[in-house]
Amino acid sequence: MVTFVYDFAQGNKDQKDLLGGKGANLAEMTNLGLPVPPGFTISTEACRAYLKNGGEPEGLADEVSAHLTSLEKAMGRSLGAPGDPLLVSVRSGAAASMPGMMETVLNVGLNDESVQGLARSSDNPRFAYDSYRRLLQMFGNTVLGIEGETFRDALDDLKKERGTTADTDLGVEDLQELIETYKTIIEKHTGRSFPQDPREQLDLAVRAVFDSWNTDRAVLYRRQEQIAEDLGTAVNIQAMVFGNFGMDSGSGVCFTRDPASGDQGVYGDYLQNAQGEDVVAGIRNTVSLADMAEVDKKSHDELLGIMSKLEQHYRDMCDIEFTVERGKLWMLQTRVGKRTPEAAFRIAVHMADEGLIDMDEALRRVTGEQLANLMFPRFDEKAERTLLAKGMNASPGAAVGKAVFDWATAVEWAERGEDVILVRKETTPDDLHGMMVARGVLTSRGGKTSHAAVVARGMGRTCVCGAEALEVDAREGEFEVRGGPTVREGDVISIDGSTGEVFLGAVPVTPSDVVRYFEGDDVDQPLVQAVTRLIEHADKARRLKVRTNADTAEDAARARRFGAQGIGLCRTEHMFLGDRRQLVENLIVAEDEAGQEAALAELLPLQREDFTRIFEAMDGLPVTIRLIDPPLHEFLPDLTELSVKLALADSRGHRKKRDRKLLAAVQRLHEQNPMLGLRGVRLGIAIPHLFTMQARAILEAAAAHLKRGGRAEPEIMIPLVASVRELDIVRGQIQEIARQVQEQQGIEIPHLIGTMIELPRAALTAGKIAGSADFFSFGTNDLTQMTWGFSRDDVEASFFSTYLEQGIFPVSPFESLDTEGVGALVRTASESGREVNATLKLGVCGEHGGDPASIHFFESVGLDYVSCSPFRVPVARLEAGRAAL
Ligand code: ADP
Ligand code: MG
Ligand code: MG
């Protein structure tokens, strides 16, 4: 026979799955010999059976009866007995704590008769009637589903009538009157009277806990937090102790350390003559733990002793609920407490110093997400703020600047030293330049994996996307807040990428101490010390190297200060924007090879200069440079705009030969699916001199750096290879250039030639490709697009939310690597690549390189390094260390 019910003395803290978090910890405290009111737990298994069968499983009622009988025996009283009743609480408790589920019903067992018995036996009628009205209120609300407001309003009305604001001022008669009111409310709302039978009360409350597993709020919460649907909740039934007995009684909550700052020293609130949630409900002013010592020194000292015992036992910060009944302390709950990111880091290090845990364990207790959080600048919450709208918190940070509505203005204003926020309906690759110079990016459309969001996160740029209340009119240079003000170009706005909020005007920000420290400021602050110690420990523990994605010398230098061990991805496309667009146009419209070469000859020295600066910034560390990847038409003017311009010129009789050629090129290069078009290695093969010009620029820059006594290790990377033949052709050309440059410069240049693995075909034929590659870098953004067959820039806004809701994936595969599908390709390619080429270097340069869950996967595959945006480097160092533990 299955067992559904367990006495508190039977369980322990590791049985959360069976007993729920609350039940497991009540059992643990019981077995530690702490003063816990006795009781028993109905297991999650019973709940699962109930939900499956649509009713209580066979045998449950008998087991409850048996446990109830022994509880009654132990307490020397029977549930709801008329003379001297035993009362119990019925408390929900799933494995993971879950707001949205039924909470707790106290004082179960009271009825019209037993309340009189309790009044007599306790010699405290006020307490007895106060307990009864609480039962009616909680039962009516959580079991019978009547709005809590209804009861609170009735209580408030009565208090008003009596001219008081404190519930403790209500006397016996007042409470009796309130009880009648509550009973009427229950009858009116449910069509039946409050159940007087104590056992029926108990059974209904248990059933309500089971049912609450499937309330909308609970379901929603589980989706958000990725908690499995089928776990079910446990129910705890526990003898009542009474904090509402009088001023020598009370109820409280406390933490063994400050959960906000992580400071050592206890922290808590206590409220006299109170029951249950009164303490946190703010109905009366609570006193601090220190002040509790004045009120009841004995209980206070005992509590402190227990707190320290619990912390030693759990070896972690504990969150505790307790009650004092007539000077006697009772423990009602404990769990490892939730904490802020700051507290997480500080507590972990303190506990290691105290010898409670070792540094490995300390490292396990902090996360990359918490660190990322500590690195964002924040808006000062105390400042006055005017909220305009709320969008999605796409890329964290707090950005203030003048609103601009196109990339050119962004660049122009930024160049003259202004802070700007680029506001767009949505962004396209064209906006890249504007995004790079902006403090933040705000869009009215698109979700967390829209172009704006992904690119902004990659750059560590603050971004709020999908703020739908904004009507963005880029032409007019303004946005209107639906039902609110209009913001024009140049008006200052503030966006909070951690909350998605958009404010009017400049909200003051506080810079992050952690970032100031990395940037070289002398910040001697406990939090910063804790962070650095844990990162240093992670550095010792990790196997994975951490590189950065950096396209400029500035980013490279910053990433290096943040601990990057090289560049894993230097994109070259932005090097063709701005003034250089003209040269790219020249290249594209050139009529013959001579024309092309002339255009490339002009680009060469510019590119060389770009790379020289990057090699300087990354002196001594490997630098992976990706040859130009995007479709060329991205560098050309818009088809419609150009056509209009030409038509106008024609009508005025002007002849625009170059524009006409340009138009022909734009038409020729136009693609229905640019993502699947002429890009990556295909460009290198279609326009041979483009790649070789870049290779030459890289190698000449490296040679110059070497000659100046520096160290450079360029890794030339060919994008979008599908077949080894493509790689062989391009590799041959680059090798020829390398031979020439080394001969001309008279110096040997250490360099590698490798490829991205970002097409399923490449992953599946990696064994062949590895024979022609010195390294693989997994371009997991494209690999995800190509494997799922959806375009990152298009699908997010249209159906991702539905997909997430329906659980097709728990998080966007662009945010966290889809290990099952895309990950399988990464694993296969790594294994077959290494089989052919044992020295093959393996890395990853997609967005996922900075994502904690993905980093753990890459560690398991055995990659050599991950590469991520400069701001994610410390996060990746920490997570790579955690992954290696
Ligand atoms: P939650 O999960 O919402 O914290 P609990 O089951 O912990 O709900 O109950 C809330 C509060 O009710 C507890 O903090 C405690 O003050 C009170 N409570 C629960 N059970 C008892 C009991 N047996 N005796 C006295 N108070 C209780
Ligand atoms: Mg609780
Ligand atoms: Mg790619």
Ligand with the closest atom to the CA of 324: 1
As a whole number of angstroms, the distance between CA 846 and CA 786 comes to 13
SS3 content of the chain, % helix, strand, coil (to 5): 50, 20, 30
Average pLDDT over residues 508-536: 91
- Cβ of 323 less than 6 Å from ligand 1: yes
Q: Kindly name the residue from 67, 350, 433, 451 that is annotated as catalytic.
A: 451
The class of domain 67-239 in CATH terms is mainly alpha
Binding residues for Mg(2+): 758, 782
Position of tokens 């909020």? 501
Q: Which CATH architecture has domain 542-631+671-884?
A: Alpha-Beta Barrel (3.20)
Distance 78 CA to ligand 3 centre (A): 71
Best probe residue, ligand 1, of 90, 323, 325, 338 (max atoms within 8 Å of C-beta): 323
Helix (H) or strand (E) holding 380, with range, is none
Could you give the 3-state DSSP secondary structure of residue 13?
coil
pLDDT at 149: 86
Work out which ligand 1 atom sits closest to the CA atom of 93.
Answer: 2
The string of pLDDT tens digits covering residues 24-50 is 999 999 999 999 999 999 999 999 999
Sign of the alpha-carbon dihedral angle for 152, 154, 159, 163: positive
pLDDT band (50, 70, 90) for residue 433: confident
Best probe residue, ligand 1, of 277, 280, 286, 329 (max atoms within 8 Å of C-beta): 277
Q: In what order do the strands lie in the sheet with 420-424?
A: 386-390, 501-504, 492-496, 398-404, 420-424, 440-443, 462-465, 392-395
Please name the residue whose Cα sits nearest to atom 13 of ligand 1. 276
Could you give the 3-state DSSP secondary structure of residue 536?
helix
Please name the residue whose Cα sits nearest to atom 17 of ligand 1. 276
The answer on pLDDT for 806 being more than 60 is yes
The answer on pLDDT for 281 being more than 70 is no
Distance 455 CA to ligand 2 centre (A): 42
pLDDT band (50, 70, 90) for residue 583: confident
The answer on pLDDT for 324 being more than 80 is yes
Distance 332 CA to ligand 1 centre (A): 6
- Cβ of 37 less than 6 Å from ligand 1: yes
Q: Which one-letter amino acid corresponds to residue 29?
A: M
Q: Look up the pTM and report it.
A: 0.83
Q: Indicate left, alpha or beta for 349 from its phi (over 0: left) and psi (-120 to 50: alpha).
A: alpha
**C-beta atoms surrounding 807 within 10 Å:** 10
Please name the residue whose Cα sits nearest to atom 20 of ligand 1. 89
Q: Kindly name the residue from 254, 318, 845, 868 that is annotated as catalytic.
A: 845
- Cβ of 332 less than 6 Å from ligand 1: yes
Ligand with the closest atom to the CA of 847: 3
For residue 291, give Cα distances in angstroms to 294, 437, 722: 5, 54, 71
The string of pLDDT tens digits covering residues 193-220 is 999 999 999 999 999 999 999 987 788 7
Residue 472 Cα to chain centre, angstroms = 28
Residue 282 phi, psi dihedral angles, 5° rounding: 70, 30
Alpha-helical regions (H) of 711-808: 724-745, 760-764, 766-770, 780-788, 792-795, 801-805
As a whole number of angstroms, the distance between CA 599 and CA 589 comes to 10
Best probe residue, ligand 1, of 36, 321, 324, 338 (max atoms within 8 Å of C-beta): 321
pLDDT band (50, 70, 90) for residue 280: low
Q: Which one-letter amino acid corresponds to residue 457?
A: R
Active site residue 451: yes
The pLDDT > 70 percentage for the chain reads 97
Please name the residue whose Cα sits nearest to atom 15 of ligand 1. 276
Q: In what order do the strands lie in the sheet with 478-481?
A: 470-473, 478-481, 486-488
**CATH assignment of 377-511, given 3.50.30.10, 3.60.20.10, 3.40.50.10800, 3.40.1710.10?**
3.50.30.10
Average pLDDT, the chain: 92
CATH tag, 250-336: 3.30.470.20
Q: Which residues surround ligand 3, an ion (CB under 5 A)?
A: 758, 779, 782
- Cβ of 21 less than 6 Å from ligand 1: no
Position of tokens 């990162």? 535
- CA nearest neighbour of 788 among 753, 812, 807: 812
DSSP 676-733: GSS-THHHHHHSHHHHHHHHHHHHHHHHHHHHTT---EEEEEE-S--SHHHHHHHHHH
Q: Indicate left, alpha or beta for 407 from its phi (over 0: left) and psi (-120 to 50: alpha).
A: alpha
Bridge-based pairing state of the strands 440-443 and 462-465: parallel
Please name the residue whose Cα sits nearest to atom 6 of ligand 1. 91
Work out which ligand 1 atom sits closest to the CA atom of 239.
Answer: 23
- Cβ of 276 less than 6 Å from ligand 1: yes
Q: For the chain, what is the total number of helices (H) and then of strands (E)? A: 36, 31
- Cβ of 41 less than 6 Å from ligand 1: no
Active site residue 313: no
pLDDT at 588: 85
- Cβ of 334 less than 6 Å from ligand 1: no
pLDDT at 444: 92
The ipTM, to two decimals, is: 0.95
Distance 868 CA to ligand 3 centre (A): 14
Please name the residue whose Cα sits nearest to atom 10 of ligand 1. 276
Best probe residue, ligand 1, of 88, 92, 104 (max atoms within 8 Å of C-beta): 104
Distance 321 CA to ligand 2 centre (A): 6
Average pLDDT over residues 808-826: 93
Domain boundaries, the chain: 67-239, 250-336, 377-511, 542-631+671-884
pLDDT band (50, 70, 90) for residue 734: very high
Q: Are 239 and 231 in contact (CB under 8 A)?
A: no
Binding residues: 571, 626, 758, 779-782
Cβ neighbors of 314 (< 8 A, separation 6 or more) are 13, 334, 336
- Cβ of 333 less than 6 Å from ligand 1: yes
Q: Are 39 and 226 in contact (CB under 8 A)?
A: no
The string of pLDDT tens digits covering residues 593-610 is 888 899 999 999 999 999
